[in-house]
Amino acid sequence: MDILNGIRVLSFNHFLLGPVGTQVLADLGADVIGIEPIDGAFQRKWGGANRRVDGETMLQLCGNRNKRSLAIDLKAPEGRAIIEKLIATADVISENFRPGVMDKLGFGYEAAKAIKPDIVYAAASGYGADGPYKDRPGQDLVIQALSGLANITGSEDQPPTPVGVSAADHHGAQILAMSILAALFRRERTGEGCRVDIDLLSAALDLQTESLVCYANGEPVTQRPPKNIAGWYFPAPYGFYEVRDGYVAISLGSMEALARALNEPALAQFNQDEMFSRNGEIAALVQDAVKDLTTEALEEKLEKERLWYAPVNDYAAVLDDPQVKHNGSFVEVESAAGTPITLLLHPAVYDGERPGIRLPPQPVGAQTADILAELGYDEAEMNALSAAQVIGIHAKSS
């Protein structure tokens, strides 16, 4: 994929949001250089399920494909000189340190703009570039708590429940990529770079747009939905229902059609307003009507009335789902060390093509020598910098 061919991105990112956001750009053909400490960025040291392939964490594998790795000591004068030379060649700088850290390192927006006036500088933080929380550590779980996201997840008989993934991080990554692309588009039209700021708190709020707008434009209500209903602002039957062999989601459709599908005439007596105001009562009727059915039997009934539904899949079923397979969402490739790994691909398709993997996630410093050579450093200079631990050069296996 060459949509962003010729765009160079310097990624001073760690953990999840920043790496995944710049990975979107890498998938589209940008030359994304992951700049990390000689001993590796945080995502190499911690990751989901404590699983590793060839010593690499799942966090490293899920956000660092199609990137080159430069291992460098940013505090060493020689390291700073290398970064300054790189900035002069770059279109984008992306970082997700706490506000002020990049300024202390000497690579904040003003310093970068002095080197490259039309630079697009994208900073991601927990809460924003300023404000009362700017110095707090921003992390997905605490953001889910603070933003209200955990409080609307689950039903009235459950405690606040975090979403089962790092939802704010993942959504924030897409906002980061979108914002960088918007700034690059403006630069193409005007020649001007800019600073872009995105934050996890805003990303988590953005995930709740419908819920928050509903809440803010009416009388205060509890945000804990009745049992089975998917959210406080949804009408019945919108939610999950237990059947003999699992759970089925029942989404939208008329109460008359649902009554016919479930052979439950009482459901047809509820009007549209009552689908909201009496959603708990309706959900209880639906649950009682489906509890002895199998998933297949319920799906047949719902399909006959053209209601919207789906089985609640576990991950084994997701990986085996025919539409997921048809879409080519997952791909098996070889890791940098040659071990088969399964990765989730870019979520969009361009002219019928889903961006693939040019480069699997790389060992720390795998392209340090190549990048420095592009800047004009010779082998002797690189060896000296490596000996002084200013740079890290990955030793390629023979």
Q: Side by side, which strands form the sheet with 239-243?
A: 239-243, 246-250, 309-311
44 in Cβ contact with 16 (< 8 Å): no
Both tokens of residue 255? Answer: 């109460």
Q: Which of 225, 300, 310, 236 is nearest to 268 (CA)?
A: 236
Let me know: does 30 contact 9? Beta carbons within 8 Å: yes
- DSSP alpha helices (H): ranges in the chain? 17-27, 58-63, 77-89, 101-105, 109-115, 140-147, 167-190, 200-207, 209-216, 255-262, 272-277, 279-290, 295-304, 315-320, 322-327, 368-374, 379-387
Distance of CA 44 to the CA centre of its chain: 17
Burial of 376 (0-12, 13-18, 19+ CB in 10 A): exposed
Q: Which of 27, 140, 169, 199 is catalytic?
A: 169
- Tokens at 262, concatenated: 């479930």
Other C-beta atoms closer than 10 Å to the C-beta of 23 total 25
Q: Report helix, strand or coil for 332.
A: strand
| Closest-CA residue to 7 (of 147, 120, 127, 128) | 120
Encoded tokens for 351? 């002219």
C-alpha distances (whole Å) from 169 to each of 26, 56, 213, 235, 322 are 18, 20, 22, 29, 28
- Compute φ and ψ for 62, nearest 5 degrees: -85, -10
Taking the CA atoms of the chain, what radius of gyration do you get in angstroms? 25
How many residues are there in the chain? 398
Annotation says 118 is catalytic: no
For the annotated catalytic residues, the residue numbers are 169
